[in-house]
Amino acid sequence: MNICVFSGSSAATSPELLHMAERIGAMIAARQMGMIYGGGSTGMMGASASGAMSHGGTVHGIIPRFLQNLEIANEEISQLTITENMHQRKQMMYEEADAFIVLPGGFGTMEEMIEVLTWCQLKVINKSIFIFNPDGYWDHMLAMFDHAAKTGFIRPQHTSLVQPLSSLTDIADALDQLMAKTEQTQNPISNL
């Protein structure tokens, strides 16, 4: 199973958020899940990759050529793919991922989250989307989703396509549930 992590690449991120991102990467690796992410080495993006790699994980970074220097492409991961543009990068990430975890981030993180939500809404893909919401970071975005549903622009059932998680314990539980679901799918006889 591959988990795609969306997160900010800003070097101005607080040490506490960086530590949380590193822990999330470690949790993914500890469950022998692969991690897919944007391929940078800075900010929460780099911290989550470091966490996974330092715990024996497999990390596939996917970065467009024009961001190689800006986000400082991470050469210390299992696999680094350089794409020609953002569209190729996102297509690869979305196709390889079995589920998504959205960490705090800026416009790029928001855009990736919204695009994946839209793909799920339109049934282009059917994958779990978790939003890590420490200290209410995403509260305004989640409130906007509810507002759009109340005003008729989003069907109410589509607001449940995203599952907010507020703690590292919640993340661990979500990863464990994904693992259990995968095991049930691979071993249907064990459910008899």
Which residue's structure tokens are 């589509």? 158
Q: Is 162 helix (H, G, I), strand (E, B) or coil?
A: strand
Tens-binned pLDDT, residue by residue, of the chain (192 aa): 999 999 999 988 899 999 999 999 999 999 999 999 999 999 999 999 999 999 999 999 999 999 887 778 889 999 999 999 999 999 999 999 999 999 999 999 999 999 999 999 999 999 999 999 999 999 999 999 999 999 999 998 899 999 999 999 999 999 999 999 877 766 655 444
List the one residue out of 167, 170, 139, 141 whose CA is nearest residue 16: 167
Amino acid making up residue 11: A
DSSP state, residue 72:
T
Domains and CATH numbers, the chain: 2-172 (3.40.50.450)
pLDDT of residue 191: 45
Angle between helices 86-96 and 107-121 (to 10 degrees): 50
The per-residue b/e assignment along 76-108, b for 16 or more CB within 10 angstroms, e otherwise, is ebeebbebeebeebbebbbeebbbbbbbbbeeb
pLDDT of residue 187: 61
pLDDT of residue 29: 98
Measure CA of the first residue to CA of the last residue in the chain; give whole Å. Answer: 24
Measure Cα distances from 34 to 52, 78, 96, 98, 100 in Å. Answer: 9, 10, 10, 10, 12
As a whole number of angstroms, the distance between CA 58 and CA 46 comes to 14
As a whole number of angstroms, the distance between CA 127 and CA 98 comes to 6
Look up the pTM and report it: 0.92
> What is the four-CA torsion angle of 163, 165, 169, 173, rounded to 10 degrees?
0
Q: How many residues does the chain have?
A: 192
List the one residue out of 82, 87, 93 whose CA is nearest residue 2: 93
